[in-house]
Structure 1
Amino acid sequence: MSLTIDNSDGALPIEYAEVTITRIMFRNGGSEYQINGDTCRLLDIQELLSDSGIGREMHVIVGQGQLDSVLHADPMGRRAFIEEAAGVLKHRRRKEKALRKLDAMQANLARVQDLTDELRRQLKPLGRQAAVARRAAVIQADLRDARLRLLADDLVRLREALRAEIADEAALKERKETAEAELKKALQREGQLEDEVRRLAPGSRTRGRPGTNSPSSPNGCAARSPWPTRA
C-alpha cells in the first residue's frame, strides 16, 4: 500500500516535490515501511508527517465524530489533542525517545562501571605479583652484579699471582744460569790448578825407562804424585 503526497509547496521537511510513503505487509504479520523506495522506520514516517497535520494521532483536522469526544475528554485528553495540534507531540516523542536512549546509556554506563570495578579487583593481586616480580628481578640483577664483581676480583688476583710466578721463574732461571756459569768457571780453574800441580810435582820431568809406560822411582816403583788427580 502506497500513499503519494504532493510536496511542491515544501510542506514536508524533505527535498522531494513528491513523496511516496509505502507499507509492505507480510504474511507473518510483519511490515516494512519505505519513503520514496528507501526502507525506513514507522517513527521516521510519523516524524515526517507530524508538522503537516497528517498521520495517526497527529491530524489537526477534527472529524465531525471526534469533536464531541474532544469536548467531553478529561484534561489530559484535551492536553494531548492540543499538543498534537500545536506540533508539540512530535517534540515530546523525540524527548521520550532521547530519555529512553539516556536511560539505556546510563544502564550501559552502570554495567561498564561494574566491569571496571571487577577488573580493578582482579588487577590488584596481579599488581602485587608484578611488584614482587620486579623486586625479584632487581634482587637477581644485584646478585648477578655481585657475582661478576667477585669473579673480576678473583681474576685480578689470579693474574697478579701468575705474573709473580712468571717473575719468580725468570729470577730462578737467571740464578740457575749464573750458578752454571760459576760452576763452569770453577771447573776450568780446577783443571788449570791440577795441570799446574802435575807440572810442579817431583819427577814429573823424569823420562820413563825403556819398556815401561810410566815414570818409575829409583827402587823400580812407579812414582806417584802426592796430589790427588781427577778421575
Structure 2
Amino acid sequence: MPTRIVIADDSYLIRQAVAGLVGDEDDLAAVATVGDVDALLAAVEQHRPDVVVTDVRMPPTHTDEGIRAAQRVRDAAPQTGVVVLSQFVRREYAVQLFEGGAGRRAYLLKDRVAEAGQLAHAIREVARGGSVIDPLVVEALLTPAGGDRRLGRLTPRELDVLREMAAGRNNAGIGEALSLTERAVAKHINAIFAKLKLTEEEQVHRRVQAVLLFLAAS
C-alpha cells in the first residue's frame, strides 16, 4: 500500500507541483491538497494520512502556521509524519519544529525539493519514524556565536565532527572530511551524545537533536 500524503500550501501552483512530484513515485499517493491550516487539520482527521507536507507560512498571518499545524498534528495524530517546506533558511523554524521530538519530522527548502528525489526521500524517512533537515539549512548556520553551555564540554575534534553532522554527512562522509576512521567517528559521536546529555533518544533522533543544539547556539 502506498504512503498516503496530505499536501498543504496556499499557492495552488505549488500544491500541484508537489502533488506532481509525489505522483511520480509508485509508493507515494496524495490523498488531499488543501490551502490553509483549518483545511489541513480537517484533511488529517478525514484521511488519516501517513505524512503531511506543509508550507511554513500560510493564511491568515503567513508566519509559522505550518509549524504550529505540525505541533497540532503531533497531538492529534502522533503516527503522522510532517514534512515542512520553507522558502527561507530560518533556524527558529527548525528548532520549533523539532522541539517536541525529532521523530517523524522533516524540514526542507522549497527550492530543493525536486533535486534528486529529496522530497520523496524525506516523506519516506518520516513515514518510518525518521527525521530530515535540509543540509542547506544547517550549512548556512554552522558557526556558533553565543554557544550552548553544553557545547563548551566538547573537544575541538568533537566540535569538528558535530559541524560535519550539521552539514548532513553520514559517518563515512565525516571520516573522509576529517581524515578519521569510521570507528573513530562513531566514538566521537557517542562522546558528543553523552556530553550533550542525549543518551535516551534513538540514534537518528540524537543526531538531529545534537545538530539543533548546535544551531540554537549560533
Q: For this structure pair, what is the TM-score category when the shorter chain's length is used for normalisation?
A: under 0.3
TM-score, reference length from structure 1: 0.21
TM normalised by structure 2 equals 0.22
* Bigger share in strand: 2
Considering only CA atoms, is the larger Rg found in Structure 1 or Structure 2? 1
Report 1 or 2 for greater relative contact order, CA contacts < 8 Å, sequence distance ≥ 6. 2
